[in-house]
A and B are shown apart, each in its own frame.
Chain A
């Protein structure tokens, strides 16, 4: 008994205990989100193409991710005969580790983050750039042509777009005066405006670069199936393939989180200064309740439409569970505590939806087009935006609103000049 007491005392006082608990929560929730992101992607793509998507496993295919995971776990793990075995085994782990580690400094809400370090943004840039080793080493160690080509393409693409993304982020740094992620959000609250309105050009550049860095359409040349079979992970099977898959989707969530934190005010509510007071409570804090009730109504409608008896019961139970959650969130202290997480989640979800939307919309770039966009457009425009921001911050000090017209006007002019000089325009003139 005494030993147990000392053990609990030690644990509750140790600074690592809380951190470990938070890490476990983030890891578990993230793994779940990633699994269901795949489901969401398949469903959304299907609806955009007038199909139904996964419908067989569970009601509306809801158990599909679990079935997929089990299948990948049970599959034979094949290692090619000529492969560099150690590197081959190591590579997927690097990808996943890099992707998950970065979440340690993402502030999900003002009251929930694993840690806040004073070089937060640099840490993110550094660790997320390690993920490339998973791709490049995996492609090389497979000792096969398609993976090697995929890895080479991926490296060139990531190195090119990292420059533009990094320069877009420096613009935000100039405004927020800090590298800490929490500070960057707090600064947006102080200014009363999200960075996207002060740095519209940087935002667009970062979003494009983010799509390229996650190897998603229209920049998915490293795994272009019509040219390279499956790109860098052609030789991978079973759970190692699943690790790559997980890393890719985790990276999608990651870049969405970074974009939301830096440009869209992180956990801040839209119209944060607006308050609808009633009985000492801010009514706008109860938006999550209505969101949950709406979701419950949708699930109930799905259930009533279903022809299978079992599915009906399932959806009704699900709707009841969501209504229960809504009731829980309606308790004022809970509503207050969950504000940040709710808005952060909504914004990230919007980003993830856009990622899927791009995939359904854009055709893949050709390789020279990809490089042109990166080097001839994104990097000069990012540089222009950086210079404009620096000049305005130095000249105007705290009156940063002039950044919006100045940034748009100057980058627009530079963009026009670039378009005059681009080989395509010159060819059409001749």
Chain B
């Protein structure tokens, strides 16, 4: 149990510290690298909660997929020029406000509802079955319609993006 708390502490410190690094680096590629570290640490927290499917999806989708595309785009930016340009940090007041709002919301959930941080001592699904099957059943049997609607929405967005990109090139 002590080991779990210890691991949680290390992972959350890594996640928070690399989150700070993401917004303080001037070099965009370094920011992306720190974001990858942060995502890894969050994945570790999932694993600590015995949500191994979520951990795997976090690594495959965010670290292995989306961040690669991030890097792909960022690499094409000319760093030397970008460093001399003004940074997009003029809306810091708005940013601070949003962050404060989020913090208040989180604090409200944690302290008032009590349930929020009372993580179950036992995993909700038995370890032998694993939660991959449980998630699959929930998504494709209990919540079939919402999942299909959401995926249709994503498909429409994807087709829209392709059409917009095509128009630009023609």
Residue of A nearest to B55 (CB): A119
Within 8 A of A (CB), among B108-156: 130, 132
| CB 8 Å contact bits of B30-73 with A (1 = contact, 0 = none) | 10010010000000000000001101110110011100110110
Q: Is A410 an interface residue (CB 8 A)?
A: no
CA distance A140 to B33 in the complex (A): 12
Pick from B33, B56, B59, B65: contact of A159, CB under 8 Å:
B65
Pick from A84, A132, A148, A152: contact of B64, CB under 8 Å:
A132
Question: Given A136-B71, A140-B75, A148-B75, do A118 and B64 touch, yes or no (CB 8 Å)?
Answer: no
Specify which chain B residues have a CB less than 8 angstroms from the CB of A245 in the assembled complex: none
Let me know if A155 and B56 touch, CB within 8 A.
no
CA distance A127 to B59 in the complex (A): 7
Let me know if A119 and B53 touch, CB within 8 A.
yes
Q: Is B14 an interface residue (CB 8 A)?
A: no
Q: Is A123 an interface residue (CB 8 A)?
A: yes
Pick from A118, A127, A133, A155: contact of B130, CB under 8 Å:
A118
A364 to chain B, nearest CB (A): 22
Let me know if A136 and B72 touch, CB within 8 A.
yes
CA distance A122 to B65 in the complex (A): 14
CA distance A364 to B116 in the complex (A): 56
Specify which chain A residues have a CB less than 8 angstroms from the CB of B130 in the assembled complex: 118-119
CA distance A158 to B29 in the complex (A): 20
The prevalent SS among residues of B at the interface is: helix
Residue of B nearest to A121 (CB): B56
CA distance A152 to B36 in the complex (A): 19
Pick from B27, B36, B57, B63: contact of A122, CB under 8 Å:
B57
Let me know if A119 and B132 touch, CB within 8 A.
yes
| CB 8 Å contact bits of A135-152 with B (1 = contact, 0 = none) | 011001000000010011
A-B contact count (CB 8 A): 70
Specify which chain B residues have a CB less than 8 angstroms from the CB of A159 in the assembled complex: 65, 68-69
CA distance A118 to B56 in the complex (A): 11
Let me know if B33 and A87 touch, CB within 8 A.
yes
Let me know if A119 and B52 touch, CB within 8 A.
yes
B31 to chain A, nearest CB (A): 12
Let me know if B63 and A155 touch, CB within 8 A.
no
Q: Is A379 an interface residue (CB 8 A)?
A: no
Specify which chain A residues have a CB less than 8 angstroms from the CB of B53 in the assembled complex: 119, 122
Residue of B nearest to A129 (CB): B64
CA distance A151 to B64 in the complex (A): 15
Specify which chain B residues have a CB less than 8 angstroms from the CB of A155 in the assembled complex: 68, 71-72
Q: Which one of A87, A130, A148, A152 has the highest number of Cβ atoms from chain B below 10 Å of its Cβ?
A: A130
B165 to chain A, nearest CB (A): 14
Specify which chain B residues have a CB less than 8 angstroms from the CB of A87 in the assembled complex: 29-30, 33
Specify which chain B residues have a CB less than 8 angstroms from the CB of A254 in the assembled complex: none
**For this complex, into which size category does the number of interface residues on chain A fall?**
20 to 34
CA distance A179 to B131 in the complex (A): 12
Let me know if A125 and B75 touch, CB within 8 A.
no
Pick from B27, B30, B65, B76: contact of A129, CB under 8 Å:
B65
CA distance A283 to B52 in the complex (A): 43
Let me know if A130 and B29 touch, CB within 8 A.
no
CA distance A184 to B53 in the complex (A): 18
Q: Which one of A118, A156, A159, A162 has the highest number of Cβ atoms from chain B below 10 Å of its Cβ?
A: A118
Question: Given A87-B33, A152-B75, do A122 and B68 touch, yes or no (CB 8 Å)?
Answer: no
CA distance A148 to B33 in the complex (A): 17
Specify which chain A residues have a CB less than 8 angstroms from the CB of B64 in the assembled complex: 125-126, 129-130, 132, 162
Residue of A nearest to B127 (CB): A118
Pick from A117, A133, A148, A179: contact of B36, CB under 8 Å:
A133
Residue of A nearest to B27 (CB): A84
Residue of B nearest to A86 (CB): B30
Residue of A nearest to B61 (CB): A126
A88 to chain B, nearest CB (A): 12
CA distance A152 to B130 in the complex (A): 38
Specify which chain A residues have a CB less than 8 angstroms from the CB of B36 in the assembled complex: 133
Specify which chain B residues have a CB less than 8 angstroms from the CB of A125 in the assembled complex: 56, 60, 64
Question: Given A84-B29, A159-B65, A159-B69, do A126 and B60 touch, yes or no (CB 8 Å)?
Answer: yes
Question: Given A126-B59, A155-B68, A159-B69, do A136 and B75 touch, yes or no (CB 8 Å)?
Answer: yes
CA distance A71 to B64 in the complex (A): 34
A179 to chain B, nearest CB (A): 6
Specify which chain A residues have a CB less than 8 angstroms from the CB of B60 in the assembled complex: 122, 125-126, 129
B76 to chain A, nearest CB (A): 8
B24 to chain A, nearest CB (A): 16
CA distance A133 to B55 in the complex (A): 19
Let me know if A151 and B75 touch, CB within 8 A.
yes
Q: List A residues at the B interface (Cβ < 8 Å).
A: 84, 87, 117-119, 122-123, 125-127, 129-130, 132-133, 136-137, 140, 148, 151-152, 155-156, 158-159, 162, 179
Beyond A87-B30, A127-B59, A136-B68, 10 extra complex contacts between A and B, CB < 8 Å: A84-B29, A126-B64, A132-B64, A136-B72, A137-B33, A140-B29, A152-B72, A152-B76, A159-B68, A179-B132
Closest 5 A/B residue pairs (Cβ): A129-B64, A126-B59, A122-B56, A118-B130, A126-B60
A-B contact pairs, 30 of them (CB 8 A): A84-B27, A87-B33, A117-B52, A118-B130, A119-B53, A119-B130, A119-B132, A122-B57, A122-B132, A125-B64, A126-B63, A127-B59, A129-B65, A129-B68, A130-B64, A132-B68, A133-B36, A133-B68, A133-B71, A137-B33, A137-B71, A140-B29, A140-B71, A140-B75, A152-B75, A152-B76, A156-B72, A158-B68, A159-B65, A159-B68
